[in-house]
Amino acid sequence: MFSHVMVGSNDIERSKRFYDAVLAVVGAGEAMRNEAGSGHMRLFYRHDGSTFCVSEPINSQPATHANGGTVGFKCTSPEQVQQFHDVAVAHGGTSIEAPPGLRKSPLGELHLAYVRDPDGNKLCALYRG
């Protein structure tokens, strides 16, 4: 259904360090850098048919996070959910909501971890057992 997800960054090099480490946990390689026609830098992470992008805002206004928005990353095990969380926090992210772990939902049992990246974007690591 989705071709890509893009979040904004106020410090593209800080974002690159954060996402290179965090997305390596789920199998994505290092970012491909791209300079937009406007001169703004963007990072593209490709993995398993999906693309996650980080961009300096093309309108040159400050990047802000979406209130109520979450970007979810599929994990292959509960241990990978925990590792995603731990790597995110070690690279400048902030643990939010409940501690990583098992949650029961109408969708079944889910292993979840929620963090905010250094720009405040909300990320979720999810394993559906």
Structural domains of the chain, count: 1
- Domain with residue 44: its CATH number is 3.10.180.10
Q: Is the pLDDT of residue 47 over 90?
A: yes
Q: Average of pLDDT values for 16-45?
A: 95
What pLDDT sits at residue 67?
A: 81
CA atoms within 13 A on the CB side of 85: 21
Domain holding 73, by residue range, is 4-58+65-128
Residues 98-118 have pLDDT tens digits of 999 999 878 789 999 999 999
pLDDT higher at 84 or 108: 84
What pLDDT sits at residue 108?
A: 85
